[in-house]
Every structure is written in structure tokens, then in C-alpha cells.
Chains A and B, each alone.
Chain A
Amino acid sequence: EDQVTQSPEALRLQEGESSSLNCSYTVSGLRGLFWYRQDPGKGPEFLFTLYSAGEEKEKERLKATLTKKESFLHITAPKPEDSATYLCAVQANQAGTALIFGKGTTLSVSS
């Protein structure tokens, strides 16, 4: 069964304290891995798509990496405005375009 697990469930950081979020997946053929950010009461906001092991993408303080079994979202020198829930999702070959989501990591950054 296709599955996505994110850890930790919650993460509290001080402003400027870098860290990483983990997304482990088991799928029957990976079509793509996606990272989204979701603020309370809003829809998920697209961040990155990764397609093959070794691929990396960056945007401001965020960097996403992909291996054959997991993905990391590295947050460098976070700011309070980076506080949100970060969702990881995969598209599997046998599931068409449906996204299979993890439960998310809720990040809180305090100044």
C-alpha cells in the first residue's frame, strides 16, 4: 500500500535555528514528490516538486531533497513567518494523478 509518513509531527524553533523535516514514503513507482505549506484556515500552497533521487530544489530559506525512500525539507535560518504546517505528498504510478499526503509537520518559529 502506498504510504507517506512525516516526522516530527511538531517542531518548535527559535528564529535563526536551522532544522530539517522528514518525509518517508513507500510507493509502487514514484511519479513525483510534492511539498506544500498550509497556513491555518487556508488551502495548501505549492512549494516544490521532485521527480528523481538526487534532485534538489531551493526557494528562499527552503531546500528540498529527494532519495529513493525519503525527502527532506531543510529550513535555513527560519523566521516567524515560516510558521505553518508543511505537507508532503506523492504521486504513485498506480494511483494516477491522485496525491497521497502525509499528516504534516507543524512548524512554530519564535523570535
Chain B
Amino acid sequence: KAGVTQTPRYLIKTRGQQVTLSCSPISGHRSVSWYQQTPGQGLQFLFEYFSETQRNKGNFPGRFSGRQFSNSRSEMNVSTLELGDSALYLCASMQSGVGGDTQYFGPGTRLTVL
């Protein structure tokens, strides 16, 4: 099975711009979560989508939003970029099985805000 794919892999933007990141989950997985990874804060949960609905949300400002399509692909949008938004954005595809859930991560999108 193909793994989680994320596009683009690298992005450079300037303050005030907006950006859209894309994630394709593992085939058959219906849940997609997004995380932000920075050297100072580590990995932090942004939100989760399941069957096109946001099922869970972390503690991030409203500038961070997402959506999921009927084929389970997901996009994440960040508006009015700030320097502090520079990070590795990771998408995780989840398989729910007997006894619990396992999340499989993609390679990430490295966002640099200048």
C-alpha cells in the first residue's frame, strides 16, 4: 500500500500571505489529522477530519483551517501568515482497529515564512 503523501514538500511564503497544503491518506483510511512541528514546541495537534467533518480541534488560532473531501484527501489552509508559522506540517492517516487507533505520518511540508 502506498503511504501518506503530502504536497508540496517545501514552501516559502512572506508574512501576510496565505497557504494551502495537501494530504492524501493511505487508501481506505478515512481519518486525517494535521500536526505542526517546531523545534521549540515539538509536535502539536491542529485538527482531525473524518468523513468530511472536523471531529477534533487543537488549540490553534482561527487562521488555521482545514477540510476533507469525499475521497478522504485533506487540505489545510493558513491565512495571514506570521513568522512563527514557519514549521514542518505533518499529516497523519489513521486506521482504527480492535483495541485502538494507529496514526501513520506523511513526510511533511516544510513551510518557511519570511
Contact = CB atoms under 8 A, between A and B. Distances in A.
Interface of A: 31-32, 34, 36, 41-46, 49, 51, 87, 89, 91, 95-104
Given A102-B42, A103-B42, A97 B102 contact: no
A22 to B, nearest CB: 16
Contact of B48 (A31, A42, A96, A102): A96
Q: How large is the interface on B (under 10, 10 to 19, 20 to 34, 35 or more residues)?
A: 20 to 34
A43 B43 contact: no
Contacts of B64: none
A36 B99 contact: no
A43 B90 contact: yes
Nearest to B9: A41
Contact of A87 (B4, B43, B55): B43
B55 A96 contact: yes
Nearest to B48: A97
Contact of A45 (B33, B44, B99, B105): B105
A97 B90 contact: no
Contacts of B104: 46
B94 interface: yes
Contact of B100 (A31, A96, A98, A100): A31
